[in-house]
Chain A
Amino acid sequence: AQSVSQHNHHVILSEAASLELGCNYSYGGTVNLFWYVQYPGQHLQLLLKYFSGDPLVKGIKGFEAEFIKSKFSFNLRKPSVQWSDTAEYFCAASGGYQKVTFGTGTKLQVIP
């Protein structure tokens, strides 16, 4: 069965620290990968997505993610976080015409 795992449930960082949030998926065949973000009091919005091509994907607000097929991973990174990055981050995956499966989310707290 398809699944998405996010192993970090809660991450606390100081401003300017580097960020890496883990995401692993279990899918057979072609996979489409996403990172969504939910800022406090707001609804989910897309950060970035990978369908094909360059495995290093750049998204909004300085975020990027790397698709490593051999590791079934799609980790989210940002070189220097800001207080405004405090949010909950969801990794998601879909295979072909199947519905999207979301991970359980990682809450990021950035301390000024």
Chain B
Amino acid sequence: NAGVTQTPKFQVLKTGQSMTLQCAQDMNHNSMYWYRQDPGMGLRLIYYSASEGTTDKGEVPNGYNVSRLNKREFSLRLESAAPSQTSVYFCASSEDRGLLETQYFGPGTRLLVL
């Protein structure tokens, strides 16, 4: 039982390049989330998926797209990376979007955009 896994762990991009961050969970959770963590700003929600087949914008969705490929996988895509997107990205999942909101986090992806 691996929990929440993310790939890659580290990535360096040039401005304008694109990439996809992958996330998978093996806990049969319905809801999945993408956050970015920046110094002094805590975690900010980018996008979330309450259930398979649905996605919704969070607090900071601009510059990102997501795909809930199936119940297990939730990917985050940067179409044209910008230096402002340098951050640590965390994927998380929870059993439900409702009251049982304990979230389980992946190890994070450190992204540097030059």
Contacts and interface: CB of A to CB of B under 8 A. Distances in A.
Contact of A102 (B43, B99, B108): B43
Contact of A9 (B40, B45, B105): B40
A90 B72 CA distance: 26
A65 B105 CA distance: 22
B90 A97 contact: no
Interface stretch (A11-19, A45-53, A66-74, A75-83): A45-53
B102 A46 contact: yes
Nearest to A106: B42
B2 interface: no
Interface residues of B, number: 22
A103 B42 contact: yes
Which interface residue of A43, A45, A97 has the most chain B CB atoms within 10 A? A43
B98 interface: yes
A99 interface: yes
A71 B93 CA distance: 30
B71 interface: no
Contacts of A102: 35, 42-44
Given A43-B90, A44-B90, A104-B40, A99 B45 contact: yes
Interface of B: 33, 35, 40-45, 48, 58, 90, 92, 97-99, 101-103, 105-108
Q: Which 8 A-B pairs have the closest CB atoms?
A: A104-B42, A102-B43, A44-B105, A43-B105, A105-B42, A43-B107, A94-B101, A102-B42
Interface of A: 6, 9, 32, 34, 36, 42-46, 49, 51, 90, 94, 96-97, 99-105
26 contacts: A32-B101, A36-B103, A42-B107, A43-B105, A43-B106, A44-B92, A44-B105, A46-B102, A46-B103, A90-B43, A96-B98, A97-B97, A99-B48, A99-B58, A99-B97, A100-B45, A100-B101, A100-B103, A102-B35, A102-B44, A103-B42, A104-B40, A104-B41, A104-B42, A105-B42, A105-B43
